[in-house]
Amino acid sequence: MTFKKWMVTTSLVSSVLLLNACGQTSEEEPSPDETAQEEVNQNEESQTTEEPDDEDQIENDEDSNGSNASDNEDGEPSDSVDNGRPQLDLEEDVLEPASFSVLVNKQYSLPEDYVPDNLVTVEVPTVLPNPEIKQMRQVAADALKEMFDTAETSGIILHARSGYRSYQTQVQLFNNYVNNHGEEAANKYSARPGESEHQTGLVMDVTSESVGLQLTEEFGNTEEGTWVRDNAHEFGFIIRYLEGKEDITGYVFEPWHIRYLGPELATDVYESGLSYEEYLIDRGINIEI
């Protein structure tokens, strides 16, 4: 069997430093104190920066997670026979901005002119006043509401903090960082426009009153964060930046950042124990990390 190799055309010269994928949020938060605190957090997190490991590390991680390498030994991830896993055209979709399975990270950025269709305001409790970030694509907004409502039946009260983030907003954030800290620091610590997964309209940062409605790693230890970790996939979301996968994803552990992939794919990714990047590689998709 043949495997059509494809080359990445969108690879950018990008920082490999770890940073908080959701932290560039000063536009959402007019308070200079909050902004400053987030920047402090980013800098602190960046101190733990490591260079991404090579593919050997990925393979090791996959092995440790019990992945079945034989799934893709024929090199055809979209083959109709794939041990019951989701039938996906991942090979094409990971580079299609409007696809639910699009890959967005520091190597694969979204185009400047990409604005998702069907952005709607989420119908769940929100934290911040900025109308832009209360938006998600319709299907993701519906799934989010279903997830929040289901959580509430178990006494779990979730809050939505930051969803859609436009390219232009990302430009403003980057420029703000340059103005405040200089271009060199911005290049090291601030995400470049187009690199935020929030631009897909498929992402929401969720939090709880138990962590003061903030985006903090502590959320992962709360009852609410644990519930999200264990149940989000059933509604089509994954925790995008896993603990221990920093070298792969390029971001620190973010138990609050959930990414919509659809229930079938999200469940498969969840059950794999892999980061989305690793999962795609495991499915035979030739991505660069």
- Which span (17-25, 67-75, 100-108, 172-180) binds Zn ion, by CB under 5 A? 17-25
Binds Zn ion by CB under 5 A, chosen from 195, 205, 246, 268: 205
Binds Zn ion by CB under 5 A, chosen from 22, 140, 147, 252: 22
Is 224 a binding residue for Zn ion by CB under 5 A? The answer is no
Q: How far is the CB of 199 from Zn ion (least distance, A)?
A: 11
254 is known as an active-site residue? yes
Per-residue CA distances from 262 to 71, 130, 265 (Å): 21, 26, 6
Nearer to Zn ion, 38 or 62 (CB): 38
Q: How far is the CB of 198 from Zn ion (least distance, A)?
A: 6
Q: How far is the CB of 205 from Zn ion (least distance, A)?
A: 4
Q: Tell me the site size for Zn ion, rule CB under 5 A.
A: 3
Nearer to Zn ion, 156 or 206 (CB): 206
Nearer to Zn ion, 88 or 140 (CB): 140
Q: Which of 62, 254, 277, 278 is catalytic?
A: 254
Per-residue CA distances from 15 to 83, 108, 252, 275 (Å): 37, 12, 14, 19
Beta-carbon count within 10 A of 61 CB: 19
The Cα 185–Cα 135 span in angstroms is 30
Write the CB contacts of 271 (distance below 8 Å, at least 6 apart in sequence): 233
Instruction: Work out the burial of residue 143: count CB atoms within 10 Å of its CB; fewer than 13 is exposed, 13-18 middle, 19 or more buried.
Output: buried
Contact 236, 261 (CB under 8 A): yes
Q: For every residue of 126-183, which 3-state class applies, written as one string?
A: ECCCCCHHHEEEHHHHHHHHHHHHHHHHCCCCCEEEECCCCHHHHHHHHHHHHHHHCH
Nearer to Zn ion, 15 or 207 (CB): 207
- Which span (45-53, 67-75, 82-90, 197-205) binds Zn ion, by CB under 5 A? 197-205
Q: How far is the CB of 217 from Zn ion (least distance, A)?
A: 13
| x/- track of binding to Zn ion for residues 239-268 (CB under 5 A) | ------------------x-----------
Q: How far is the CB of 118 from Zn ion (least distance, A)?
A: 20
Nearer to Zn ion, 58 or 147 (CB): 147
Long-range contacts for 97-102 (Cβ within 8 Å, ≥24 apart)? Answer: 97/200, 100/139, 100/202, 100/260, 100/261, 100/262, 100/265, 101/261, 101/262, 101/265, 102/200, 102/202
- Closest CB to Zn ion: residue number: 22
- Which span (15-23, 122-130, 135-143, 260-268) binds Zn ion, by CB under 5 A? 15-23
Catalytic residues: 254
Query: Where on the chain is the footprint of Zn ion (CB under 5 A)?
Result: 22, 205, 257
